[in-house]
Structure 1
Amino acid sequence: MSADTTPEQGSTAPSRTRPPSGIRRHRWLLGPATLLLLVVLVRTFLVTPFGIPSGSMQDTLLVGDRILVSRLTAPADLQRGDIVVFDASQGFNLRVPERGLFQTLVEAAQSIFGKGQPTDYIKRIIGLPGDHVKCCAPDGRLEVNGVAVDEPYIAPGAVPSAMTFDVTVPPDRFWMMGDNRGASADSRAHLGDPGGGMVPGEDIIGKVWVRYWPLGRLGYVDQGQLASVPAAPVPRNGE
């Protein structure tokens, strides 16, 4: 008798397993879900769209401008003059509203198109960790580490600050100010709060990269670094 066997008459070869009908019906969702996942990953780790909601950064950024914020710059690599988006809830002692699951999902979808959270602020870094920032020098300019600084991004004739202050920025914190100094709720407005209005580096979402809307203002956003400022003094032992 042959070792080979033959299928019995009338038998059929087994058919390939098909996915359940429920999965087949929803297979069309795979493409949009994959695209959404890619967008979320890009937004979380590479670049984030952001819309300008107020005039606190005029005339550098106008209400309605749409920008891309790079998330690739570490806090240690930021410079004075960089424009950044940050979560101000801790640094500015803001109350974070409670949100349910539905509201969280809606806000996540809106964020893809540049709508930030109510606690997302955009300002310019004036003081790095360890800097001594003062308003004002005898000539009316801001003073950083003993040097009066030029600020070409402020509108002609505008004063650097109507509020006087004299602060030393703690380690891993940043002193933030808007370009429209008369209409910016920035670090100055929170001097009396816990933390003194200084923004933790871990709360910085990213550095402003380009403006993509309106098309007539398309291009890189000038950061205006304060290159003439000396480095912050190194604390002595015990200080």
Structure 2
Amino acid sequence: MSGDTGRGTRRGRALSGVAVAVGCVLFLGGFVLTALLYQPYAVPTDSMAPSVSAGDRVLAQRIDGDEARRGDVVVFEEAQWGDALMVKRVVGVGGDTVACCTDDGLLTVNGEPVTEPYLDAESRAEPMEFSAEVPEGELFLIGDHRHESLDSRTMLSDSDAGSVPRDAVTARVEATVWPPSRVGMLASASGFADQPGGVSGSGPLLPLLWATLAGAVLIIGGALYGPVAGRRASRRTPQRAGVAGDAQ
């Protein structure tokens, strides 16, 4: 009986060691890849509300500007717009004609109305009318909080299309991570899906977060096995000694 217990203990310790090793790989791998692929940002204004509000901390996937598609919420820096990093939504790419609005208050891209469920009622009311042709290699960017956002619409002039070069974009916002009440993935911009090129798919953030969490659970579980097994063994030992004394 004691031999079986010993073998079981050794097997348990071996399995706990494997769990800790696998956990370390998952935890460190997920953490490092997330740090390499994503950049945290603090959003200073409400120009993208309600999708992203002032004070939110977001995670944005590092991308090249050529990867930006219609509907993406991107981080960019453009000298004509100021010295700070900005967060806006791509609504048009090179060659597009972007205009506002239909009788229902919908934005149009190349004459096609775009449904934007992430906008709130205030942004849908009395929209700013405009029409712009986006130069090749550039992006037309506007905020979800249409009445408060300074964006490509306000930069329009006779000599300026209001757009920014693709290479001004450094990242695509994928999720809000702070405050806790707003943690979650950004809503999909499926209204742009029928445009050429479609919309961007989900990035690797969720799989990486699950891998990191699973790694942490395995590490903690494996580390706890030794103390728990030792406590159980110490509880069994006095009982066996008592039984042996009675038999004598």
TM-score exceeds 0.5: yes
**One-letter identity of the residue aligned with 1:188:** R
Alignment of 1:93-108 (within 5 A): 93-94=80-81
1:162 CA drift (Å): 3.2
- Whether contact under 8 Å (1:188, 1:197) holds in the other structure is yes
- Whether contact under 8 Å (2:66, 2:167) holds in the other structure is no
1:224 CA drift (Å): 1.8
Measured at CA, do residues 175 and 67 of structure 1 come closer, stay the same or move farther in structure 2, by a change above 3 Å? same
- Whether contact under 8 Å (2:77, 2:169) holds in the other structure is yes
**Cα-to-partner distance string for 1:132-188 (whole Å, 9 max, x where unaligned):** 111122433111111111111110253376322111111110011100000000101
Measured at CA, do residues 193 and 208 of structure 1 come closer, stay the same or move farther in structure 2, by a change above 3 Å? farther
Q: State the partner residue of 1:152.
A: 117
Residue 63 (1) aligns with residue 54 (2): yes
Measured at CA, do residues 193 and 160 of structure 1 come closer, stay the same or move farther in structure 2, by a change above 3 Å? farther
Measured at CA, do residues 149 and 94 of structure 1 come closer, stay the same or move farther in structure 2, by a change above 3 Å? closer
Equivalents in 2 of 1:225, 1:177: separation in Å? 17
- Whether contact under 8 Å (2:174, 2:186) holds in the other structure is yes
**Cα-to-partner distance string for 1:72-122 (whole Å, 9 max, x where unaligned):** x33333221110010021xxx245xxxxxxxxxxxxxxxxxxxxxx42110
Alignment of 1:1-239 (within 5 A): 46-71=37-62, 73-89=63-79, 93-94=80-81, 118-156=83-121, 158-159=123-124, 162-192=127-157, 195-231=160-196
Equivalents in 1 of 2:171, 2:103: separation in Å? 34
Equivalents in 1 of 2:85, 2:112: separation in Å? 31
Measured at CA, do residues 46 and 161 of structure 1 come closer, stay the same or move farther in structure 2, by a change above 3 Å? farther
Equivalents in 2 of 1:52, 1:153: separation in Å? 17
1:63 match: secondary structure: coil
Equivalents in 1 of 2:105, 2:55: separation in Å? 32
Equivalents in 2 of 1:229, 1:170: separation in Å? 21
Equivalents in 2 of 1:157, 1:212: separation in Å? 25
Measured at CA, do residues 151 and 161 of structure 1 come closer, stay the same or move farther in structure 2, by a change above 3 Å? farther
TM-score calculated relative to the size of structure 1: 0.62
Equivalents in 1 of 2:124, 2:106: separation in Å? 8
1:127 match: secondary structure: strand
Equivalents in 1 of 2:130, 2:123: separation in Å? 17
- Give structure 2 stretches of 5+ with no counterpart: 1-31, 198-248
RMSD, matched Cα: 2.6
Equivalents in 1 of 2:68, 2:126: separation in Å? 23
- Give structure 1 stretches of 5+ with no counterpart: 1-38, 96-117, 233-239
Q: State the partner residue of 2:242.
A: none
1:190 CA drift (Å): 0.4
TM-score calculated relative to the size of structure 2: 0.60
2:154 match: secondary structure: helix
**Cα-to-partner distance string for 1:179-235 (whole Å, 9 max, x where unaligned):** 000000010110028642201110001100222111232232224233354339xxx
